[in-house]
Amino acid sequence: MAEMRTALGMPITHQTKTSKNPIIQWILDVWEGFYTVLVGMGVTWRHFFRKPFTVQYPHEKLNIPKQARQRVHVDIDLCGGCLQCDKICPAGIIKIVTAKPVAGEDLGVRPNGKRRALHIAEFTIDHSKCLYCGLCETVCNDDAIYMIPDFQYTTRSLEQLVVNYSRYSPEERDRVVAAAAAEKAAKQASKPAVPQTKVSDPQPNIPSPSVDSDVFNEKCPGPDGEFK
């Protein structure tokens, strides 16, 4: 008994006959090949009258589930610069550069009603290395990073897949970062210098064990060798 399977994986049991006569064996082999062709064509003809499973992509597209993990998108207006997505990304494809505003600078309010406390000078994502794990979307407290139904973003170069979502130009990024660093350095310089005095290591104060004379005499032998 030789077990065969159709294109759908259904088992087909067919008994292969053998003969010592070479002519009869040749006829049996021809029939065996013809029989397997009939089985395959039977599957083909059954599907010929059924509705096709495929679509004419890209002119036709299937409905993608709502929770499908596809391209990562960032709403930079909602971002607060907490760096949680940057820290949790297992592939390390997120790079965020923030800067504190200088004294007297008001960055306004974000669309969610929260104060904007930081400059989001740079927010780049390398989509060529994304694992589509969705961890960045999970840890974001402001719902600023999420998946969008866009999986057709192939390019001719990997550099085009590195997207910067920040609204700052390279010149503005350098300016706000330098201003924040200068203000921080000025605050550090304005602080009075704290004199450094060498403090010797304190000797540990180990209390001497107290000995009860009565207990000591009771448990120790006297001059005559007897316990009191």
Do residues 42 and 116 both lie within one domain?
no
Instruction: Give the CATH number of the domain where residue 96 resides.
Output: 3.30.70.3270
Q: Which domain holds residue 30?
A: 2-48
The answer to which of 150-159, 170-179, 193-202 has the lowest mean pLDDT is 193-202
Whole-angstrom distance, CA of residue 83 vs CA of residue 117: 13
Do residues 99 and 37 both lie within one domain?
no
Please determine, for residue 190, whether its predicted confidence score (pLDDT) is greater than 50.
yes
Do residues 143 and 35 both lie within one domain?
no
Closest of 161, 95, 91 to residue 128, by C-alpha:
161
- Please give the full DSSP string across 156-169, using - where no structure is assigned: SSGGGGEEE--S--
Q: What is the pTM assigned to this prediction?
A: 0.60
Q: How confident is the model at residue 55 (pLDDT cuts 50, 70, 90)?
A: confident
In a domain, 212, yes or no: no
Mean per-residue pLDDT over the chain, rounded? 81
What single letter denotes the amino acid at residue 123?
F
In a domain, 17, yes or no: yes
In a domain, 54, yes or no: no
What single letter denotes the amino acid at residue 75?
D
Query: Are 112 and 167 in contact, with CB atoms under 8 Å apart?
Result: no
Tell me, rounded to whole angstroms, the distance of Cα 123 from its chain centroid. 16
The answer to which of 34-43, 123-132, 202-211 has the lowest mean pLDDT is 202-211
pLDDT tens digits for 99-127? 999 988 889 999 989 999 999 999 999 99
SS3 for 99? strand
Do residues 80 and 37 both lie within one domain?
no
Do residues 87 and 11 both lie within one domain?
no
Q: Which residues pair with 95 in a beta bridge?
A: 124
In a domain, 208, yes or no: no
Do residues 104 and 180 both lie within one domain?
yes
Do residues 16 and 90 both lie within one domain?
no
| 180-219: b (≥16 Cβ within 10 Å) or e | beebeeeeeeeeeeeeeeeeeeeeeeeeeeeeeeeeeeee
Mean pLDDT of 201-207: 61
Structural domain total, the chain: 2
Do residues 96 and 183 both lie within one domain?
yes
Query: What would you measure as the largest C-alpha separation in the chain, in angstroms?
Result: 124
Do residues 89 and 177 both lie within one domain?
yes
Do residues 91 and 25 both lie within one domain?
no
pLDDT value, residue 58? 81
Q: Which residues pair with 18 in a beta bridge?
A: none
SS3 for 168? coil
Whole-angstrom distance, CA of residue 119 vs CA of residue 168: 9
Do residues 77 and 172 both lie within one domain?
yes
